[in-house]
Copies of this chain bind each other. A is one copy, B any other.
Amino acid sequence: MQHYFLKQPAQLGASVDLNSDISRHWVKVMRATPGDHAEFVDLNGNLFLGQLQTSTDEKTTVKLVENLDSKSEIPVNVTLIMGLPKQDKADWIVQKTTEMGVSEVIFFAADWSVAQWKGNRIDKKLERLQKIAAGAAEQSHRLKIPTIKYEKSLENIVTSFSGRLLVAYEEAAKQGEKSELRHQLGEVNSGDNLAVVVGPEGGISPAEIQLLENNNGIKVGLGPRILRTETAPLYFLAAVSTIIELNS
């Protein structure tokens, strides 16, 4: 079943006019006809079953006929603090971490980032990434579209973050450190804020490690293999889901 995000709060029984993006996709691409159903998430994260009432070139109306229950959100807020990677890797980091349940992705200009985002193009890039996040959130049937940000200064990010701050540290993998991640995730409670810092291709610089440690960052290994910069966030999020969502 299709899954769409409404841009307004809504309630059971309401008739809602769909915006042109949803209308085009559901009616034109997916060929929905009156009586067909789809899922709709309102701005407050409520999930409804919606039934298509009428669709004309001017207006498509859906009636919200049932409240649906969903457990598709990880019960902690996970922020990915990601050193700006090369090429188009930002696109698919956003797509894949959205599928995996991330709440927020903040790219930062790391000391050892080769890629740079220049001032006048940042807004465009963020707009594009935000669209990718919205598409992936629909696809994976989430209740929340992650927020995508850019921040030049890692210090600004970590000093304004309040929660458990982890640092994916490649050296930990090399040294065979294997228990800290699982230990840390075992201590997380529902509703907590959890962040992970992942370096760019060149890794995290000593100055950045120092800064993170000064701000209570805890170094964790992501298993014993050396993961590429774009693979590490996926390992992390799957580990969060495995430990926190999969009940044994």
B183 in contact with A248 (CB, 8 Å): yes
A71 in contact with B140 (CB, 8 Å): no
Complex Cα–Cα for A243 and B243 (A): 8
Q: A140-B225, A242-B242 are in contact. Are A231 and B179 (CB under 8 A)?
A: no
B72 in contact with A247 (CB, 8 Å): no
Residues of B contacting A225 in the complex (Cβ-Cβ under 8 angstroms): 72, 99-101, 140-142
Across the two chains, which residue of chain B brings its CB closest to A136?
Answer: B228
Of the residues B101, B226, B246, B247, contact of A140 by C-beta under 8 Å: B226
Residues of B contacting A96 in the complex (Cβ-Cβ under 8 angstroms): 231, 234
Is chain A's interface secondary structure helix, strand, loop, or mixed overall? loop
Complex Cα–Cα for A71 and B247 (A): 28
- Chain A interface residue count, Cβ-Cβ cutoff 8 angstroms: 36
Is A182's CB within 8 Å of the partner chain B? Answer: yes
Complex Cα–Cα for A226 and B138 (A): 10
Residues of B contacting A228 in the complex (Cβ-Cβ under 8 angstroms): 99, 139-140
Interface residues of A in 192-248 (CB under 8 A from B): 223-228, 231, 234-235, 238-239, 241-243, 245-248
Q: Give 27 CB contacts A-B under 8 Å.
A: A70-B224, A71-B176, A96-B231, A96-B234, A99-B226, A99-B228, A100-B227, A100-B235, A139-B226, A140-B225, A141-B226, A142-B225, A178-B246, A179-B247, A181-B246, A182-B242, A182-B246, A183-B248, A223-B242, A223-B246, A234-B234, A238-B238, A238-B239, A239-B239, A239-B241, A239-B242, A242-B242
Interface residues of A (CB under 8 A from B): 70-72, 96, 99-101, 139-142, 176, 178-179, 181-183, 186, 223-228, 231, 234-235, 238-239, 241-243, 245-248
